[in-house]
Amino acid sequence: MNEIRKEDERVKGTQEYVLLDLSHSPETGFDQFAQVVKRTFGKELFVGLWVTLREMGSTLFGKGKHTVSYPLEKMPIAPRYRAIHDMLRLLESGNYRCIGCGLCEKICISNCIAMDTKYDENQRKEVSEYTINFGRCIFCGYCAEVCPELAIVHGGRYENASEQRASFSLFEDMLKPIDMLTQQKEFDGFGAVSPNADENIKKTPLAY
Amino acid sequence: MEHKKDIKTQIQVTIDGKICNGTTNDTILKIARRNGIYIPTMCYLTKVEPIASCRMCIVDVEGVDGHILSCQERAVDGAVVHTQNSELFKQRQNIMKLYNVNHPLECGVCDKSGECDLQNKTLEYGVEVQTFQTKEPHRPVQNWGFISYDPALCIMCEKCVKVSHEITGNEALRIKMGGYKSTILNTKNDHFDSSLGESAAVCPVGALVDTSFKYSTNAWELTKIPATCSHCSSGCALSYEVKNDTIYRVTNPFEFSSLCGAGRYGFDFANRVNGKDKKAFDAGISAFKTAKTIKFSASITNEEAQILQELKNKFDYNLVCDEAYGYGEFMRAYSSTSGKSLYGGNLESLSKCEGIIVLGSRIEDDDPMVKYHITMASKRQSARVAYMHPIEDSRISNIVTQFIKYEVGSEEGVLALLLSYILSNKELPAHVSEYIKELDIGNLSAESNVGEEELEKFFKAIEKKNRFTLVIGSDIYAHPRVAHIAKLVGIIDSYSDFEIIAIPPATNALGVSLICDLDKQGVGESIGYNEIGDFTLSSQGAANLDMPALNQQEGTFTTIDKRVVATNVAISYDGYTLNDIANELGLYNKNTIDYTAKLPVSKGFMEVDFDNLRDDFDIEGNDMRGYLLASCETKKDDSLEEPAELSSFDGAMVYNCNETHYFGDATNKSKLLSSSESHTLKGSSQFAQIAKIEDGQSLRYSINDIVYERVFKIDTTLKGTIALNPTFDMGLSSSMVSSYRYNNFNIEKTNTVGAS
Ligand code: SF4
Ligand code: SF4
Ligand code: SF4
Ligand code: SF4
Ligand code: FES
């Protein structure tokens, strides 16, 4: 019983309605006609036109610009945005980071990563083929998340128009160009290590 | 036949509260596994004797102090065993920690990842933190030909070493002791044997891997196609591991069974065709309508053999299969005196023997699995092994206790001698003892060159032993006196405790000899199936109409174990098959495997559908694949004859024999197996002298109308006047090499010395 009463009070509350100060609407046909004439030929029209003109001027030439001039200018993409993949390099040696473990290939739910590896002259595992079929990729980011080497990450390239799908699906195309290595930032986007990664590291001593 | 050692007493033990039955010979681990109780192991390999190097399998037995190694300790009646408690868990966890000391964190690239025992058990025992370390010596990867060894990954479980000694008998691998620095050594660095693949197969980590497979793909990307090896009659279980219509590697149920190098590395023999060639097919159909004979090799499935037989029933073809004909004759004659439609031995029983006689086969080359099982018998029970052959084989001196040489062609006399020794002091029916009495032992011994004292020595050595096997090889089946030799074998089988194994000379020679009524010779126009005919069907190229290779077909083989086992399609094939031809000719079966249930019950086959054939081993390692042939009625014919006079073989001779892991065209095609060495005629320097040829000389000679052009090589391990002539690379004619394996050596033309 008590419960219900409390509920009722809350519903009632205090009502603080405000009445809007509305001008009277024209009531007769003549009044309506007079209003149209006044609005059409009064200065209001020119005030409106002037406002538009002024804003256009400030947008085009002044400070009032609110859009980016695509394609000359592009919106900065948030680091966690998932666009076309980037293949990163090791900062020290410039070698690509991918070790060919195949985890990205395995985890990919749309089955669009295909790769081949081989035993190279230095007795190491080498990635000999690596492609992502972007016609199938759903940009889920699993590959970036699973990669143990931070080798595959999602980059900011979101314009998925091309004459051929193949033209942006090869390993070399995704790989950070070697001359841009200095611009490669330690990635903090999708698949990056968590900010507190250091705390999570466990001791695995290896003495060589 | 009951043997003393086989009599085991039933016992009962309680494992983790469950009452389990076993016998006195069983280890605790065996009983536990049989009852579905899990005990972790790292070094245990079912098919070899317990290694006992890892201590993971420790259990507690009530009333016994300390932990017990369940893998090697035999169970005692009434014992109460505990396999899991916190103390055991901690001990096992510590073992895993030790295994992980300095173990490289390279699962990301390691070939074993995904099927690695170390990976699995590290996770199972929650080893998340590594708290100790040691100085790591530099240990580079070593390439041993077919396999490569990464000492940094090795956990020293010793499985590889055990296998190389106890199974393959190659004995190349050895442990170099040195505490933490221990590694595995390959002591035969000069010759990399393909049987090393067996060692790589059992390695629980990525330390030993197939060099060809290394880093090529991940285990989980491959589809396993369960199949049967099609190279020889052992019919070993294997899986073709396939990705993108390509075989990446061959694996096998290594816990329980083995593969030789041919099975493991000779997998790339598929016949790839571009769709159906209607014109060739129509030509084939009209060829079948005019032909009177079908010639074929015995490397076909039972189902194909059945199709050929049904075609014979309908159109009265002569069926000619040189590879299986002699074998069929042998088996029929053997049955007539032994009263058994099939011989009694099998590979498993062979490995349990204590006395073995091998006659008429160069086993190291001819029958790797037979050799492996003799090795097991030799290593486990110190079996006495008499290797009777005209050519000594130094490679198997580690398992052969006595080499008994006989003259080429004298096999019949040798068997008569064996018969008289094996059956001495046995109770015999009159006609047999009469026969033995009339044998002129002295003369037989002189003619065959088998000394009586040699035989006496062997039979004295096995006097106190149990379980014997007489292994008969393919030298016999093409011997002119095969039928009578087989009768003598049958007599031995009937009246002694020797078991018999007659090794089928080609993949499905046993199946073909049972299913088809073979004719010795063809008449008129012929169809050749994997053999040269007027119209040739072939999976090996040089075909008028292409056929699928044996890894592109479904079907069954009949193995040396008299087991009918299934094989499956690993590589796609979209051309015509024999069944298409049969259907066109009026036999109506949609698929080749529809014939599986129609194989002749009168010959011991069962009416089982292909899809109901199992392809696995049970938890104890018993072969559950397919089914065993049933024995059936035989015709009795006990009449025996004097051994015939020898036809003379003198001077330089050649013996048709392919080097280890080569069998026929399929192995010839294999990229991994190929080596120029295997195509040479090999002989001793004595042979070179008699034949008046030199090392490196190119020769042209013919044997049974097949012309060979080979380079001659002196092989210092060989002795005597017999050279080894490979036939596996002769394409379609290799299956026609059907005569007695020894021939006089006639050089047709000697080219100038092409010193190479
Ligand atoms: S997960 Fe990373 S390291 Fe592994 S294959 Fe993919 S990109 Fe290469
Ligand atoms: S052997 Fe096993 S644990 Fe060691 S790196 Fe290879 S997969 Fe990982
Ligand atoms: S190489 Fe493999 S099988 Fe051999 S001891 Fe090392 S881990 Fe065991
Ligand atoms: S060739 Fe013979 S012994 Fe070798 S794997 Fe094949 S069936 Fe087994
Ligand atoms: S399994 Fe028993 S000691 Fe390794």
pLDDT digit string, tens, across residues A187-206: 777 767 777 877 877 766 55
In a domain, B170, yes or no: no
User: CB-based contacts of B62: which residues, under 8 Å, 6+ apart?
Assistant: B79, B80, B81, B82
Domain count, chain B: 3
pLDDT at B175: 95
Nearest listed ligand to the Cα of residue B565: 4
CA distance B75 to B548: 51
- Closest by CA position to B738, among listed B701, B700, B706: B706
Q: Which domain holds residue B664?
A: 653-750
Whether B391 is in a domain gets the answer: yes
B220, part of any domain = no
Evaluate if residue A163 carries a pLDDT over 80: no
Q: DSSP assignment of B458-480, as one string? A: HHHHTTT---EEEEE-TTTTTST
- Of the candidates B485, B360, B444, B195, which has an alpha carbon nearest to the alpha carbon of residue B741? B360
Distance from CA of residue B515 to its chain's centroid? 22
Q: What percent of chain B has pLDDT over 70?
A: 97
Q: Which of B565, B630, B673 is nearest to B234 (CA)?
A: B565
Mean pLDDT, rounded, for A82-111 = 90
3-state secondary structure of A77: coil
Q: Each residue of B545-560: pLDDT tens digit?
A: 999 999 999 999 999 9
B736: CATH:
2.40.40.20
Give residue B185 CA to ligand 3 midpoint distance, Å: 11
How far away is chain B from the Cα of A199, in angstroms, using its nearest Cα? 14
Tens-place pLDDT, residues B476-505: 999 999 999 999 999 999 999 999 999 999
Tell which residue, B239, B200, B267, B174, has the closest CA to residue B661.
B267
Residue A7, pLDDT > 60, answer: no
Give me the pLDDT at residue A178, please. 79
Question: Is residue A86 helix, strand or coil?
Answer: strand
Q: CA B497, B501, B505 angle in degrees (round to 5)? A: 165
Residue B452 maps to a domain: yes
- Under the banding of pLDDT at 50, 70 and 90, the label for residue B7 is low
The Cα–Cα gap between B385 and B399 comes to 7
Q: What is the pLDDT of residues B218-238, one digit of tens each?
A: 999 999 999 999 999 999 999
Per-residue pLDDT reduced to its tens digit, B402-442: 999 999 999 999 999 999 999 998 889 999 999 999 999 99
Which range, of B390-404, B449-463, B721-735, averages the lowest pLDDT?
A: B721-735
A125 in reach of chain B (CB within 8 A): yes
Pick the last residue of a domain from B84, B109, B133: B84
Task: pLDDT band for B754, please (50, 70, 90 cuts).
Answer: very low
CATH number (domain holding residue B36): 3.10.20.740
Residue B3: predicted pLDDT? 47
- Range in A198-207, B108-117, B152-161, B643-652 the model is least confident about: A198-207
Contact B162, B45 (CB under 8 A): yes
If you average pLDDT over residues A19-42, what whole number do you get? 83
**Given this model, what pLDDT does residue B638 score?**
82
With bands split at pLDDT 50, 70 and 90, how would you rate the model's confidence at A13?
low
Q: Is B560 in the pocket of ligand 4 (CB under 6 A)?
A: no
Pocket flag, ligand 2, residue B103 (CB < 6 Å) = yes
**Chain A residues touching B133 at Cβ < 8 A:** 205-207
Residue B250 CA to ligand 2 center (angstroms) comes to 20
Q: Where residue B640 falls among pLDDT bands split at 50, 70, 90?
A: confident
pLDDT in tens, A82-94: 888 888 888 888 8
Q: Is the pLDDT of residue B751 over 70?
A: no
For residue B678, give both structure tokens.
């295997």
**A131 in reach of chain B (CB within 8 A):** no
pLDDT value of residue B472: 97
B206 phi and psi, to 5 degrees? -90, 20
Give yes or no for residue A207 having a pLDDT over 70.
Answer: no
Q: Is B120 in the pocket of ligand 2 (CB under 6 A)?
A: no
Single residue among B60, B84, B108 that ends a domain in this structure = B84
Which residue in chain A is spatially nearest to B219 when comparing CA positions?
A102
Instruction: Say whether pLDDT at B663 is over 80.
Output: yes
Query: What does the pLDDT read at residue A117?
Result: 94
Q: Is B216 near chain A, with CB under 8 Å?
A: yes
pLDDT at A2 over 60: no
| Predicted local distance difference test score (pLDDT) of residue A196 | 81
From B128, B215, B221, residue closest to A125, measured CB to CB: B215
Give the confidence band of B4 by pLDDT, cuts at 50, 70, 90.
very low
**Minimum mean pLDDT range among B146-150, B535-539, B675-679:** B675-679
Whether B261 contacts B267, CB under 8 Å: no
Cβ contacts of B128 on chain A, cutoff 8 Å: 202
What pLDDT score was predicted for residue B736? 62
The encoded tokens of residue B289 equal 């309508």
Q: Let me know if residue B613 belongs to a domain.
A: no
Interchain contact B142–A (C-beta under 8 A): no
Residues in chain B: 756
The residue among B477, B502, B527 that closes a domain is B502
> For residue B555, what pLDDT is reported?
97
pLDDT of residue B737: 62
Of A101, A126, A206, the CB nearest to B133: A206
Residue B755 has pLDDT above 50, yes or no: no
In this predicted structure, which of A36-45, B101-110, B292-301 has the lowest mean pLDDT? A36-45
* Residue B542 confidence (pLDDT): 83
Whether residues B132 and A148 touch (CB distance < 8 A) is answered with no
Distances (CA, A) of B230 to B152, B239, B481: 36, 12, 29
Confidence of residue A95 (pLDDT cuts 50, 70, 90): confident
In a domain, B113, yes or no: no
State the CATH number of the domain containing residue B451: 3.40.228.10
- pLDDT band at residue A1 using 50, 70 and 90 as cut-offs: very low
Structural domain includes residue B581: no
Residues of B in contact with A149 (CB under 8 A): 108
B289 within domain boundaries: no
Average pLDDT, chain B: 92
Lowest-pLDDT range of B363-377, B608-622, B733-747: B733-747
**Where is average pLDDT lowest: A35-39, A47-51, B66-70, B376-380?**
A35-39
